[in-house]
Amino acid sequence: MSQAKLSIYLCRLLRHAPEDAGLDMDIHGWVSTQQLIDNVNKAGRHHLTMPQLEQLVATDSKGRYRFSPDKSRIKACQGHSIPWVEPELTPAAPPAYLYHGTTERAWNAIQDSGYISRMSRHAVHMQADESKAWQSACRWRQAPVVLKIDAQAMAADGIPFGVSDNGVWCTEQVDRKYVCDVLRPFA
């Protein structure tokens, strides 16, 4: 099995459906590394070893996963759709601008609604690095766009931000008025 397919499966388990593998997840999204390996292997859909898991965590281009210092636990850093999970975010003042990767279709919906929604997740995700936002935008396999967000103005208006272990900036909602540019790929 490819690392990509295994990563997609682990992302599902650690962000959206721990019950699919009978994982005992805590309130911050941590699960036992050994339970993850054992239960993935028992399910029979995929085979997982500790070296494979270590490689996946080390090479994930978005840094989605974190081990505890002793590697006895693992979590997804953010992006959970599980209502009772409370992501561990560090409150911080954002850089002047942040970037949100999305699609042309979603941008139209944002204009209609007047804000960027967190959807089924705990927060709107933004990047300080525009290239990482493009990576997020392109995953949808639709016409990608990156929204440049005036995060400094948001913070000045009292809107709180948190940053995840892997550098993803999060907030509850982004009002349309803070979108200062819409970046599109070259045609």
What would the DSSP string read from start to end of 79-103? ----TT-----EE-PPPSEEEEEEE
Q: What is the pLDDT of residue 1?
A: 54
CA 62 from chain centre, in angstroms, equals 8
Question: The domain 90-183 is classified under which CATH number: 3.20.170.30, 2.60.40.10, 3.30.1050.10, 3.40.190.10?
Answer: 3.20.170.30
Topology, domain 3-76: Arc Repressor Mutant, subunit A (1.10.10)
Specify whether the CB–CB gap between 93 and 47 falls below 8 A.
no
Question: 46 is written with which tokens?
Answer: 């995929």
Instruction: Tell me the whole-structure pTM to 2 decimals.
Output: 0.79
pLDDT score recorded for residue 62: 81
In the chain, CATH 3.20.170.30 sits at: 90-183
Write down the pLDDT at residue 21. 93
| pLDDT of amino acid 137 | 87
Give the Cβ contact number of residue 27 at 10 Å: 11
Q: State how beta strands 124-126 and 174-175 pair.
A: unpaired
**8 is written with which tokens?**
């997609």
Looking at residue 34, its pLDDT comes to: 97
CATH 1.10.10.970 domain position(s) in the chain = 3-76
Intervals of the chain under pLDDT 70 = 1, 120, 187
What's 73's DSSP letter? E
Q: Report pLDDT for 108.
A: 94
Write down the pLDDT at residue 28.
Answer: 94
